[in-house]
Amino acid sequence: MNLRTTGLAIACVLVALVAAPDAGRSTTPAQAMTEPPHVPFAIRTAEIAAAVALRATPHPNPPPQGGRETPRNSKTETQRAMATRVMAAPAAAPGSITIPVPLYKQTMNLDCETASLEMALAYRGHWYSQAYLFSLEHADTRPAIKNADGSIRQWGNPFTNFVGNVHGAEHLATGYGIYYPPILWIARGLGDPGATGGTGYSASTIYAALASGHPVQVWVEYQWVRPATGVWKAWDNTKVHYSLHEHTVVLSGLSGTQVRVNDPWPGVQYWIDKSTFERSWADFFNMAIIY
């Protein structure tokens, strides 16, 4: 096999790994009937490039003692957070399934992805500070370049780094967030080697994972609003689909019509209709990590 053939073979394997996330967890024939959404070629290209880069990077090691945390009293923290909730939470339907994922509030303005990762790892018995986890995301703090209409022309690549200032604001384009590849890389290195992630997941695959006891981190929009979305070009010329309400939460329960949400901002747990979740999730092409 010559070098060109070898390169094509490697590329095909990477495409298969990234383009078919539903293969990461077992599915039933009924679940397989649900068609996942179409994911643009530019996103698949970005995922493949990120996968190549991360495969060449050693997984993070557990930090020195300063980066670890002692197990938290999740019941106490949940009660404290629920006392300050700002969203109405409809009661779960009878027969619902819940997963005892700790509820943690994000400690920085835009580190919802890190706080969601913290919750998922804690559920698996691994406690790390948000500060340590965020340090592994290698923030690219270069400012965004905007068009005359206020949309973003160029910024960082969230498939490889946290984009912007974590203490900034999305609506001002001073800070943004990070997409699944680096978060998955951190999760696998710090306690959940079986975690899977990608875009293009079917809703039925996510619900089956929840029913099997797997928390799921999903990329949605803050408070489930649906603002205008757009595309910017990263410094490395990657096309980045974005929403300036980008947010992540952890799904921790399931009923016939709803999912339970561990929301790191403002640190609340509530139930929401599946239809509301799916509409917001679709704006990020069904991006998720199954823990």
pLDDT digits (tens, 9 = 90+) for 91-107: 666 789 999 999 999 99
Tens digits of residue pLDDT in 99-134? 999 999 999 999 999 999 999 999 999 999 999 999
Interatomic CA distance for residues 53 and 182, integer angstroms: 10
Distances (CA, A) of 274 to 19, 223, 257, 261, 279: 24, 14, 6, 11, 9
Q: Where are the domains of the chain?
A: 3-290
Enter the pTM of the model.
0.79
Interatomic CA distance for residues 177 and 112, integer angstroms: 8
Sorted by sequence, the CB contacts under 8 Å of residue 288 that are 6+ apart come out as: 21, 180, 197, 198, 201, 206, 216, 217, 218, 219, 281
Closest by CA position to 273, among listed 83, 89, 85, 31: 89
In this structure, what are the phi and psi dihedrals at residue 254, rounded to the nearest 5 degrees?
-155, 140
Two structure tokens written together for 88 = 């109405």
For the beta carbon of residue 9, count every other beta carbon within 10 angstroms: 11
Strands (DSSP E) found in 32-172: 97-98, 145-146, 152-155
Statement: 3-290 belongs to CATH 3.90.70.10:
yes
Tens digits of residue pLDDT in 26-69? 443 333 334 566 888 877 787 777 777 777 677 777 665 545 55
